[in-house]
Amino acid sequence: MSTATDTPSTTPATPPSGSETSTTQTPPATTPQTEASTPGAETSAAAPDGGQGGGQSDAPWQDALPDDLKTNPLFRNYKTPDEAMKAHANLYKVRGVPAERLLTVPDKPQDQAPDDWAPIHKALGVPDDPKDYQIELAPEAAADTPELAEILRELGGKAKFQPSQMTAVIETLNELGQKAAQAEAEARDAETRTVTETLNKEWGAAAEGNRRAIGKLIRDALGGQIDEAAQADLQAKLGSNLTLSRVLAHAIGKMAEPQAPEGAGAATTTRQLTPTAAQAALNAFQGNAEKMAALNNKSHPQHGAVLEERRQLLAQARGEKRPDQVA
């Protein structure tokens, strides 16, 4: 019994043979080759490099498009469909409006017939008929050219002005016309002031009377057919002309100057003057330096004559008859 018990206990202590150790501990040499040849491993290694695994193709993505698009060079510029979609979205954003609101400019504008521009002109609001332009010119703008409005309509029709462009032209012309009229009025006022100062010195006390006589002469010459505004404007223009004012005053004085009969002095007259004519003659008398010198100098040889002349003019200016004509 003891022998049987000892025998099993000594068996494990015996070292294993060399063949048994090699067989138990060495890994199988064929194991890596078996894993590398596994179909699943081959597919996962090849797919990232060229898409050859899993049924994928090398054909460009554009080949999947419809026939009328797949050959379009525009789409060939994009590597992926995502790039094409992004480009389309950006294009729409830049365009900003639907396609029906876009206008196409002719390739060579200078060579195109007017009809090629018709849709553009219509979209911009250019009138079909130049008469449809709304033109309101200030009086100052058209003062020298009454037909200016028609000229502008003709020009707008040829140049195909938009209504806003025509408005800008009209506003500019009105502004220029008003500035020119203001400058002219200021220049005339300055000249009138200069002429007035000169005539006041020359005519002295007769200055105001001469101006009234000139105004009456103008009204009489026009048959009284002139309103107050036109009269004031005409007198202002005359007042800015020194030479004309002198001529008119001299003419009025000559018209109203009493005529002395043969053998009589200057103090006697041959005709009765109206009050207005007598006043004009009195104004001319007072503006005559020689007569005023004789009047103011009792020792002057003509003192008595000019004194009598002045007396008669004063009487007739009051509407009285000359002493020799009293009934």
pLDDT at 174: 94
Which of 113-127, 186-200, 206-220 is predicted with the least confidence, judged by mean pLDDT? 206-220
Instruction: Name the more confident of 149 and 241.
Output: 149
CB crowding 108-136: b at 16 or more within 10 Å, else e: eeeeeeeeebeeeeeeeebbeebeebebe
Please state, rounded to an integer, the average pLDDT across all residues of the chain.
74
Instruction: Locate all alpha helices (DSSP H) within 204-317, ordered by sequence.
Output: 207-221, 228-239, 242-256, 275-286, 289-295, 303-317
As to burial, measured by CB atoms within 10 angstroms (0-12 exposed, 13-18 middle, 19+ buried), residue 155 is: middle
Q: Check whether 172 has a pLDDT greater than 90.
A: yes
pLDDT at 325: 57
pTM exceeding the 0.85 threshold for the entire prediction: no
pLDDT at 255: 65
pLDDT at 271: 64
- Cα–Cα distance list, 223 to 217, 218, 219 (Å): 10, 9, 6
Other residues' Cβ atoms within 10 Å of the Cβ of residue 229: 8
Tokens of 83: 């790039």
Sign of CA dihedral 162, 163, 166, 167: negative
pLDDT at 180: 93
Range ranked top by mean pLDDT from 188-202, 233-247, 269-283: 188-202
Q: Check whether 113 has a pLDDT greater than 90.
A: no
Q: Check whether 295 has a pLDDT greater than 70.
A: yes
Q: What's the pLDDT tens digit per position in 47-74?
A: 344 444 445 567 888 888 888 888 888 8
Instruction: Name the more confident of 278 and 8.
Output: 278
Q: What's the pLDDT tens digit per position in 87-112?
A: 888 877 766 667 667 777 777 766 66
pLDDT at 270: 47
Tokens of 322: 């000359």
pLDDT at 148: 93
Type of residue at 81: P
pLDDT level of residue 285 (50, 70, 90 thresholds): confident
**CA torsion, ordered 218, 220, 321, 303, to nearest 10 deg:** 20
pLDDT level of residue 313 (50, 70, 90 thresholds): confident
CA pair distance 142, 184, nearest whole angstrom = 15
Q: Check whether 269 has a pLDDT greater than 90.
A: no
pLDDT at 235: 67
Tokens of 55: 């049924």
Instruction: Name the more confident of 29 and 228.
Output: 228
Instruction: Name the more confident of 221 and 9.
Output: 221
pLDDT at 111: 65
CA pair distance 242, 278, nearest whole angstrom = 24
Sign of CA dihedral 201, 203, 206, 209: negative
What's the rounded mean pLDDT across residues 284-295?
A: 84
